[in-house]
Structure 1
Amino acid sequence: MATRAQQVIPVSQARTDISTILDSFTSSTSSEPVFIGAHRKAEAVLVPVSLWEEILDVFEDIEIGKIVRARSQSKSISFKGETVSVGLKELLNIN
C-alpha cells in the first residue's frame, strides 16, 4: 500500500482543535484528511463526510466489479431452464 507524506498532529492538539478541524470540513469543499497520532506516526485519520462518501462509492464499485467478474466466469443458465427446475413454468406461462 502506498503511503503519502502527511503532517501528523498530536492527539492533544486534535482534542484542542477538534471544533476548528470540523469547521474546516464544513466551510471548504476541498478539505484534506487530518492525520492524528503520536511521535509523528499516524494512528487515525479524520476525513470530511463528502470524502468518506466518495471512498465508500469507490469500494462499492470495486465490490460490484468483483461480482461481475465472478459471474462472467461462471456457467450461465437460461431463465427458461431455471423456471422449469424450480417449478415456475406454469406460474409464469412459459412454453
Structure 2
Amino acid sequence: MSFPEILPSSAARAELPKALKRFRAEGASAEPLVFGSHRRAEGVVIPFDLYWQLLPAIEELEIAQIVRERSEAGEPSPLSEIAESIGLDPDNYR
C-alpha cells in the first residue's frame, strides 16, 4: 500500500463525500483520507470497519502509555500507606 496523497483541509472537506462512498464500497480496505497543512499529515479519516478492527490495539497502546507514565513517576506506594497519609485507618474498611 502506498502512502495516500495529503490534502489541504479545504480539499479534504470537499473530498469527504467521495471518501464515504469509497468506504461503503470497499469497507475496511478503502484508502483513507489524509489531510493537513503544508502537505504535512495531521489527520486521517478511515472507514469505521477498520477503526473497529483497530480499536483493541488502540486501547492496548493507551494502556501501555499509562503504564509508562506511572512507571516513570517512581516507586508505587501501598494503598494502606496512602490511606494512612490522609488519616484513614485501612482496618476500618475490611
Task: With the length of structure 1 as denominator, give the TM-score of the two structures.
Answer: 0.51
Q: Which runs of 5+ in 1 are unaligned?
A: none
**Which of the two has greater strand per residue?**
1
Per-residue Cα deviation, 1:3-35 (whole angstroms, up to 9, x for no partner): x643467939x73x6433312212322111134
Structure-1 residue corresponding to 2:93: 92
Structure 2 residue runs without a partner (length 5+): none
Whose helix fraction is larger, Structure 1's or Structure 2's?
Answer: 2
Contact 1:35 1:42 in 2 (8 A): no
Number of corresponding residues:
83
Alpha-carbon distance in structure 2 between the residues aligned to 1:72 and 1:50 = 34
Larger radius of gyration: 1
| Runs of 4+ with >6 A deviation | none
Identity of aligned residues (%): 26
CA RMSD of aligned residues (A): 3.8
Q: Measure the CA separation in 1 of the matches of 2:79 and 2:6.
A: 56
